[in-house]
Amino acid sequence: MRKYTLAVAVKETEYLRRLADYVRDSPLAEQWQVTGFTNAEACKQYAMQGYKIDLLAAQPELLGELRELRERWPAIPAVALVMGLGDSGEEHELHQYQPLPLLLQRLEEVHARLAGQPPRLVPGGDEPDGVRILTVYSASGSTGKTALALHLAHAASSHGRRAFYLNLERWNTADAWLGVPRSAAAASGGEGLSELLYGLKAQPGQAAEWLLEHRIRHPLLKADYLAACTNVEDRLTLGPEDAAGILDAIARSGQYDLIVVDLDDGLDELHASVFDRSDRVLWLTSGNLSVLGKQRMALHYGERKWGERFASAMSKALFVHNRAVNAAGLTPDETHALPYAPVQLPEVPEWRDPGAATLLSSPSFRAASDKLYKHLFHEGGESDANGFGRARAAE
């Protein structure tokens, strides 16, 4: 295996020592070697002597002094190591002071994107090949959307797929499930969906890189997500173009195989836009008369409002019955003859107390979610054109 050279130019000798020691004693040593410089002239001489640099990471001041080197070898990818994003004016920035495993992971990701290994694009499409979008939806609240979406993200990660959980609810309660009500804001420096939306408007070309800087990795979920909107108005005014921009930024980061969208109840242009981009829509239902009534009205409204567009979206829809509802008890009018999943989600008695509803605390719900994931990703079965398992027709 070829080794890549990471040239790091910072003024702090101790920082260089710690970084080199970490790489040397980690599995990264098989692929990367770190060469450190505390001044720009030493880095220039290193390159002039014919030594190859595969990635240059340097403080903004030193990057400025290395302008001649970068002009001579413009193919060398460069990253500014900054105290805060936007400090350098460089196209690619990373926080210098962050946990070394995260820093090295993000440097590897930047190298992959900039050094001839960008995500492949689908011919005629806008998203990297292989990225799938799975949306969890219901026309009514309190049907278990967040629980299912989180469990599916975990199932995907457990089966070797890189998953991103995206909560687009007006009132984001995912942190309660994750058991980290305050850590999201702390881990991301207080920045999340609100700041990503601002970035999409101000610097859309850097949205994917901003995302990689601020995503949160949950150790139990084994998937990434962003902190909720710090400004509630940002979510209340979220439009279809905004949602599309968020999905595009996640997809174009090149780091994910699956995006699991936790979509709010209701039905408007935002929902239609997300449905359009989704490969599968899981529509949660239950035996509750109110839920069934809202479901029926939403289906009729969607048909009248969007016609063929809605019909196209519903061709990707799959009903998922929560709380052990008997599928045979649903009439064709209530389901519009849409297919249903061969998996029913069990009721979890301990989750009746909102304070006891935590991720992966129910073996039965976890097993059902895993089974549903396997059905969608056709493990052991046939697949459709989107790489998902074919839905079973209603019987």
Whether residue 122 is contained in a domain is answered as no
Residue 97 lies in a domain: yes
Tell how far CA 282 is from the center of its chain: 18
Q: HEC string of 308-353?
A: HHHHHHHCCEEEEEECCCCHHHCCHHHHCCCCEEEEEECCCHHHHC
pLDDT in tens, the chain (395 residues): 568 899 999 999 999 998 988 888 777 788 888 999 999 999 999 998 888 899 999 999 999 999 988 888 888 889 999 988 888 888 888 889 887 877 887 888 788 777 654 333 232 334 444 689 999 999 988 888 999 999 999 999 988 888 999 999 998 888 888 887 554 444 445 688 999 999 898 888 888 888 888 888 888 888 999 988 888 899 999 999 999 999 999 988 878 889 999 999 989 999 999 999 999 999 998 878 888 889 999 999 999 999 999 999 999 999 999 874 444 444 444 445 568 888 999 988 888 776 777 888 999 999 999 999 999 986 544 444 444 554 333 33
CB distance 345 to 148 below 8 Å: yes
| Count of CB atoms situated within 10 Å of the CB of 356 | 11
Q: State whether residue 55 is helix, strand or coil.
A: strand
Same domain, 65 and 95: yes
Task: Clarify whether residues 136 and 167 are in a common domain.
Answer: yes
The answer to the question of residue 260 being in a domain is yes
CA dihedral 331, 337, 339, 342 (to 10 degrees): 20
- Host domain of residue 172: 132-376
Does some domain include residue 388? no
Asked if residue 48 and residue 86 are part of one domain, the reply reads yes
Q: Give the global pTM.
A: 0.66
Instruction: Name every residue whose Cβ is closer than 8 Å to that of residue 390 and which is 6 or more positions away in sequence.
Output: 378, 381, 382, 383, 384
Q: Are residues 196 and 92 in the same domain?
A: no
In a domain, 218, yes or no: yes
Q: Would 372 be classed as within a structural domain?
A: yes
Statement to judge: residues 171 and 261 lie in one domain = yes
Cα distance between residue 215 and residue 27, in whole Å: 23
Q: Is residue 178 part of a domain?
A: yes
Residues 313 and 241 in one domain: yes
Name the strand (E) or helix (H) holding 284: strand 280-285
Residues 322, 251 within the same domain: yes
Q: How far apart are CA 23 and CA 32, in angstroms?
A: 8
Domain co-membership, 93 together with 156: no
Domains: count for the chain: 2
Query: Do 76 and 153 belong to one domain?
Result: no
Domain containing residue 51: CATH number: 3.40.50.10850
Residue 216 lies in a domain: yes
